[in-house]
């Protein structure tokens, strides 16, 4: 490294008084960037990479596996159209006369996503056919 003296002052720059670089890379056509990754930056980028890999590894089995409701086989559904004068109680008694109508009504409400027991003529209801 050469030191340039200008007007009695010593500058610690590796440049001569004309402003040209004096080191060996002066003739090199590579572009130098001023971006330097610090230790903290490497730590942040490394941590982000690990988090992305972990998230992918944890979510991949969830997306790839088929939905399993339980050990029981899914019951086939029967769809009916509600007629004038029908109620959930009468429908429950007709499809499962031996079962408790309250349990059958709860199943019908759950299957159809209903919040109330009010029915409208022409409304279609999915019923568990296995009862």
The reported pLDDT for the residue numbered 52 is 92
Show pLDDT as tens, one digit a residue, over the chain (131 residues): 555 555 555 555 455 555 555 555 555 677 777 778 899 999 999 999 999 999 888 887 777 656 555 545 566 778 889 999 889 999 989 988 898 999 989 988 988 888 888 888 998 988 876 65
Q: What distance separates the 2 farthest-apart alpha carbons in the chain?
A: 111
Q: Please write down the long-range contacts of 35-39, taking CB distance under 8 Å and 24 or more positions apart.
A: none
| Separation CA 70–CA 108 (nearest Å) | 19
| Token pair in block for residue 44 | 């942040």
Distances (CA, A) of 13 to 20, 24, 35, 67, 124: 11, 15, 20, 68, 86
Q: Enter the pTM of the model.
A: 0.43
What pLDDT score was predicted for residue 50?
A: 94
Q: What is the separation, in whole angstroms, between the first and last Cα of the chain? A: 93
Element at 128 (helix H, strand E): strand 124-128
pLDDT of residue 71: 47
Long-range contacts of 11-15 (CB under 8 A, 24+ apart): none
Q: Which pLDDT score is estimated for 43?
A: 94
């Amino acid at each position: 490294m050469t030191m340039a003296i200008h007007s009695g002052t010593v500058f610690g720059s590796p440049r001569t008084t004309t402003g040209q670089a004096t080191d060996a890379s002066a003739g090199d056509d590579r572009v130098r960037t001023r971006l330097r990754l610090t230790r903290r930056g490497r730590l942040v980028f490394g941590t982000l990479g690990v988090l992305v890999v972990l998230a992918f590894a944890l979510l991949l089995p969830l997306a790839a596996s088929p939905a399993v409701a339980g050990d029981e086989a899914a019951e086939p559904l029967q769809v009916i159209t509600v007629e004038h004068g029908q109620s959930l109680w009468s429908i429950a008694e007709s499809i499962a006369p031996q079962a408790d109508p309250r349990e059958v009504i709860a199943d019908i409400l759950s299957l159809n996503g209903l919040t109330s027991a009010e029915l409208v003529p022409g409304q279609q209801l999915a019923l568990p056919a296995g009862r």
